[in-house]
Amino acid sequence: MSTFYITTPIYYTNAEPHAGHAYTTIAADVLARYHRLKGDEVFFLTGVDEHGENIQKVADLKEISPQAYCDQVAPTFTTLWKRLNISYDIFLRTTSELHKTGVTRFLNALYETGDIYKGKYEGYYCRPCERFFTEKEQGVDKTCPIHKLRLEWVEEDNYFFALSKFQDQLIKHIHENPEFIQPAARSNEILSVLETGLEDVSISRASVSWGIPLPFDPDHISYVWIEALSNYITALGFAGNEDRFQTFWPADIHLMAKDIVRFHAIIWPAMLMAVDLPLPKHVVAHGWLTKDGEALSKTRGIFIDMDADIETYGLDAFRYYLLREFSFGNDGDYRPNRLQARYNADLANDLGNLLNRTLGLVSKNFDGIPEPTTPDSLDNEVIQMAKETISKVDSLMTQSAFDMVLEAIWEFVRRVNRYIHQTQVWTLAKSEDTRSRMGTILYNSMEALRVIAVLISPFMPDTAARIRRQIGLDDSTAVRGLDSIGTWGGLQSGRTIGKPEPIFPRLDIKKRKARDKTSDVQEPQAEEVQLISIDEFQNLDLRVATITEAEKVPKADKLLRLIVDLGGEKRQVVAGISQHYAPDELIGKQVVVVVNLQPVKIRGIESQGMVLAAAGDETLVLATLDEHVTPGTTVR
């Protein structure tokens, strides 16, 4: 049996997990599940990185011990993984005995090679990164290229690993294994770092106390990165459970975002080379998940409200969106309105309707799964496409091209929908002659759904199970694996089908809107952000107007009646701004007015336009102009 060992980074416990961590972990979960489908023996590692200065600092602020602090944060990760249906095999904590004993053994092995030496480190250090930056790596004015903070000059007695010694060997390895670092752009980046020359790295910190002491000099604590990287072997029981280590090492994939590729593609392989252990087969880096184009940041309040979106769309839709929407190696901007669009178009419409329609017609016209008795060339096209889709998915999965995998599956979903249309299957119940043709088409559609359920199962495990139940299959492994869809015709005619029910029901948009209103962060509301063309935008006639009169509308606590001057013309506008502006302060202000709206009567007063304002839950600020302009000037 083949084995497949996949890892995520072990995440820092200096804060609770966010959507970025979820993104990597869901992707790793998809790969783990896919390899289980293939019948591989899978080991899926995730965990937390609990040592180091940063974590010690947070614990100090909270006035608790670092261990007590980590004991509080680590479960927030496992809780999230449960919520996201992550099928990990081990959740490694670096404070565990398993890890500590493994690190000790690994560091001893490294020491014995003679590639570790004691020396003085002088260099520019970024505390949040917990690493030194060489001159070449620094940003402008000696700043950290990631945090943009000024780097600190630090001098310390440290132990060093002779990284530079492995430079040529690393270059050779990358050239000989072009798939070692994926995608290719990252591989080139690493090669150019290697070609400009490597410096030795310090592997200990004398000034930090929260960590694992070096076994050969316990006054020094191992540098958090050196210790963390070895988690990939300590989790396999490097110091004890030889069997698991022998079975799964080397890892098939180390998965991460592009921020930490250098550690995984340079330092980690060099350490492994030093102790003569095989290198991981692939280091795969994905892009950043951003919100409104900005990096996720708790302190700046830039976050993705996963809970809310999962509640609205369901977990499987959330998982689908993350992997369908973005090309894995590139950055991707998370947009709830795109999630909604995907939900409606791909899930409810394409897949949901295919299932509903097929099962509806089967249950109305047949007693159980019909028999395929009248094969023709159109059927063969669908059968052929199923085969091609299965092999396409397999080859794209090896490139972690999740968006393309899902697109390939959906091309098939859409093809089957078209098959139903082309054959007008719903019209074939009329006569006995055409009923057998109807049975054949519906049988093939159900077979297609069986194939689809297997192919989508790594991405959407619950949806796959629901489809299986509805088409009359049980939940045994025999119907879940890739093997089970190798041959067309696996469904048994005559079998009773399950109860048809919508797998992606219509969304309760009202609930979502109510939620958005109470949420701190205002997300664009999906149905209001349908894109419009430039022509549509140009239909709006926006003009600069000067307010010449303003007064409260009697018995209406929010309304003001304004007279605005548009150059050659004066207009009366009723605006709901009374709680934010006193009439007097408005006189002379220049505002932007929509002048081609149909007039409406508000409290019996005709409003002949609309004044634009920025409106939040508590705030309302009129859109004004930077400088005075002639009234009536067009705004575009």
- Residue numbers 291-320 binding ligand ME8 by CB under 6 A: 295-296
Cα–Cα distance for residue pair 561/441, rounded to 1 Å: 66
Residue 149 sits at the vertex; the CA angle it makes with 145 and 153, to the nearest 5 degrees, is 95
CB of 11 to ligand ME8, least distance (A): 4
Q: Which stretch binds ligand ME8 (CB under 6 A): 8-16, 122-130, 339-347, 615-623?
A: 8-16
Helix ranges (H only) for 501-622 are: 509-518, 534-538, 583-586
Cα–Cα distance for residue pair 124/201, rounded to 1 Å: 13
Q: Considering the complex, state which of residue 257 and residue 429 has its C-beta at the smaller distance from ligand ME8.
A: 257
Q: Is 87 buried (19+), middle (13-18) or exposed (0-12) by CB count in 10 A?
A: middle
Cα–Cα distance for residue pair 369/375, rounded to 1 Å: 16
CB of 289 to ligand ME8, least distance (A): 4
Q: Lay out the site mask for ligand ME8 across 224-263 (x = CB under 6 A, - = otherwise).
A: ----xx-x------------------------xx-xx---
Strand pairing category for 131-133 and 116-126? antiparallel
Closest CA to 96 of 249, 235, 251: 235
Q: Considering the complex, state which of residue 335 and residue 561 has its C-beta at the smaller distance from ligand ME8.
A: 335
CB of 14 to ligand ME8, least distance (A): 8
Tell whether residue 12 is a contact of ligand ME8 (CB under 6 A): yes
Q: How many CB atoms lie within 10 A of CB 118?
A: 12
Q: Considering the complex, state which of residue 295 and residue 621 has its C-beta at the smaller distance from ligand ME8.
A: 295
Closest CA to 419 of 389, 378, 370: 378
Q: Considering the complex, state which of residue 24 and residue 484 has its C-beta at the smaller distance from ligand ME8.
A: 24
608 and 571 in contact (C-beta within 8 Å)?
Answer: yes
- Residue numbers 53-92 binding ligand ME8 by CB under 6 A: none
Which residues fall within 8 angstroms of residue 476, CB to CB, at 6 or more apart? none
Number of residues that bind ligand ME8 (CB under 6 A): 20
Q: Considering the complex, state which of residue 162 and residue 260 has its C-beta at the smaller distance from ligand ME8.
A: 260
Strand pairing category for 289-291 and 610-611? unpaired
Phi first, then psi, for residue 250 (nearest 5°) are -80, 155
Alpha-carbon 335 to chain mean position? 11
Tell whether residue 49 is a contact of ligand ME8 (CB under 6 A): yes
Q: Considering the complex, state which of residue 103 and residue 593 has its C-beta at the smaller distance from ligand ME8.
A: 103
Tell whether residue 47 is a contact of ligand ME8 (CB under 6 A): no
Which residues fall within 8 angstroms of residue 615, CB to CB, at 6 or more apart? none
- Residue numbers 192-231 binding ligand ME8 by CB under 6 A: 228-229, 231
- Strand segments, DSSP code E, in 127-203 are 131-133, 152-161, 181-182, 201-202
Site for ligand ME8 (CB under 6 A): which residue of 10, 92, 283, 442?
Answer: 10
Q: Considering the complex, state which of residue 301 and residue 568 has its C-beta at the smaller distance from ligand ME8.
A: 301
Q: Lay out the site mask for ligand ME8 across 572-601 (x = CB under 6 A, - = otherwise).
A: ------------------------------
CB of 578 to ligand ME8, least distance (A): 43
- Write out the two tokens for 249: 């090492």
Site for ligand ME8 (CB under 6 A): which residue of 5, 9, 186, 320?
Answer: 9
CB of 25 to ligand ME8, least distance (A): 8
Q: Provide the binding-site residues for ligand ME8, judged by CB under 6 A.
A: 9-12, 20-21, 23-24, 49, 228-229, 231, 256-257, 259-260, 288-289, 295-296
